[in-house]
Amino acid sequence: MKNKSIYDIAIVGATGAVGQKIMDVLEKRNFPIGSIKLLSSKNSAGKKINFFNEEIIVEEATPESFTNVDIAFFSAGGSVSEALVPAAIEKGAVVIDNTSAYRMDANVPLVVPEVNETDIKNHKGLIANPNCSTIQMVTALKPIQKAYGLNRIIVSTYQAVSGSGKKAVDELDKQTRNYVNKEETKPEVLPVAGDKRHYPIAFNALPQIDVFQENGYTAEEMKMINETKKIMHLPDVKVAATCVRLPFFTSHAESIYIEIDKENINPTDIWKVLESQEGVVLEDDIQTQTYPTPLSAMDKDEVFVGRVRKDLDCDKGFHMWVVSDNLLKGAALNTVQIAESLIKNKWL
């Protein structure tokens, strides 16, 4: 591609929660936009969305939509990506896909810029954005792995309903109002909108995110396991995950246990490497009860780490608590950072 200073972009899934967040992030970071196409399903086409002080009419996404598009952000579900990403690439767009459709494809880079930015260089028209719970974990663990090696990860997650889409957010809101108004409604969305059985989410904890796989793990847990190995280039690192949906709206939190390679490392050493990592903020002081929470991380760009402490039995073992806004670094922000890297490094 010739050297441009502004870029023609398309956003597929512009009316969805992540699509909207992508627009917010593009505005906030003053992304060098030439033209913009907001694309959606037939149902949402015709809607008007304000973007960079301009009213834009949402169009139906078709294979033809991607003519003269430099960068196409996809965030409308895996089936839409499977249907339209090949056409977008063929028309010459570089696609950044926020769905799970192509993440584990060996030909598709899966990227968190702080962790494996140079993988972007090898793209063949498509870069995949990882799962939200994976992004914040690898962002926090990368500097530790770089300094001290990494053999094992055991993570239990505390995940916000917004990771399951607008209907899940509405369901928590509704059930919360039901509690206050002493009403009752039937759960219809969570844990997984399309699955057979639904549980209340208000004042509850659901140990299922996404559908179950034959091996007893959920798809969300397998994403964390497989994507972590791919992004970190550590095919042999041991990873185990338990993913749990909880009654809060924004930010995922993670209780992470790791085993590093090096002996005699202390929490203060871990602090140092975390503090040196762009995109990571250390919030860890037990004297002042300082640690991140889902509410404190909301609307912020960074990955926050607290409660760093050494395992009491294993010299190479450490525990920590990692929190980030699942719609920002976990989705929209990381997507835009990939686009910025494409431009900055002339990898378009």
In angstroms, how far is CA 268 from the centroid of its own chain?
Answer: 28
Tell me if 19 is assigned to a ligand binding site: no
* Burial group, residue 45, by CB count within 10 angstroms (0-12, 13-18, 19+): middle
Question: From the CB of 221, what's the least distance to a copy of itself, in Å?
Answer: 9
Please provide the DSSP assignment of 64-98 as one string: GGGTT-SEEEE-S-HHHHHHHHHHHHHTTPEEEE-
Question: From the CB of 289, what's the least distance to a copy of itself, in Å?
Answer: 4
Token pair listed for 170: 């509405």
**Toward a copy of itself, which CB reaches closer, 293 or 341?**
293
Question: From the CB of 223, what's the least distance to a copy of itself, in Å?
Answer: 13
**Toward a copy of itself, which CB reaches closer, 52 or 179?**
179
Tell me if 326 is assigned to a ligand binding site: yes
Neighbour order of strands in the sheet with 7-12: 59-60, 33-40, 7-12, 71-74, 94-97, 126-128
Query: 243, 252, 314, 319: which one is catalytic?
Result: 252
Tell me if 152 is assigned to a ligand binding site: no
Active site residue 252: yes
Tell me if 44 is assigned to a ligand binding site: yes
Q: How many CA atoms lie within 13 A of 301 on its CB side?
A: 14
**Toward a copy of itself, which CB reaches closer, 19 or 200?**
200
Query: 123, 132, 243, 314: which one is catalytic?
Result: 132
Tell me if 245 is assigned to a ligand binding site: yes
**Toward a copy of itself, which CB reaches closer, 97 or 254?**
254
Active site residue 243: no
What element of type H or E holds 338? helix 333-344
Question: From the CB of 267, what's the least distance to a copy of itself, in Å?
Answer: 7
CA atoms of 283 and 277, how far apart (whole Å): 13
User: Which residues are at the interface with a copy of itself (CB under 8 A)?
Assistant: 152, 154, 156, 158, 176-177, 179-181, 191, 195-197, 199-200, 203-208, 212, 215-217, 225, 238-240, 242, 244, 246-249, 253, 255, 257, 267, 286-289, 291, 293-296, 306-314, 317, 319, 321
CA atoms of 295 and 273, how far apart (whole Å): 25
* Burial group, residue 83, by CB count within 10 angstroms (0-12, 13-18, 19+): middle
Tell me if 18 is assigned to a ligand binding site: yes
3-class secondary structure, 314: coil
Question: From the CB of 255, what's the least distance to a copy of itself, in Å?
Answer: 4
- Assess contact for 209 and 243: CB atoms under 8 A: yes
Please provide the DSSP assignment of 94-134 as one string: EEEE-SSSSTT-TTS-B--HHHHGGGGGG-SSEEEPPPHHH
**Toward a copy of itself, which CB reaches closer, 120 or 168?**
168
Q: Which residues are catalytic?
A: 132, 252
Residue numbers belonging to the annotated binding site for NADP(+): 15-18, 43-44, 162-163, 326
Residue numbers belonging to the annotated binding site for phosphate: 103
Residue numbers belonging to the annotated binding site: 15-18, 43-44, 103, 159, 162-163, 245, 326
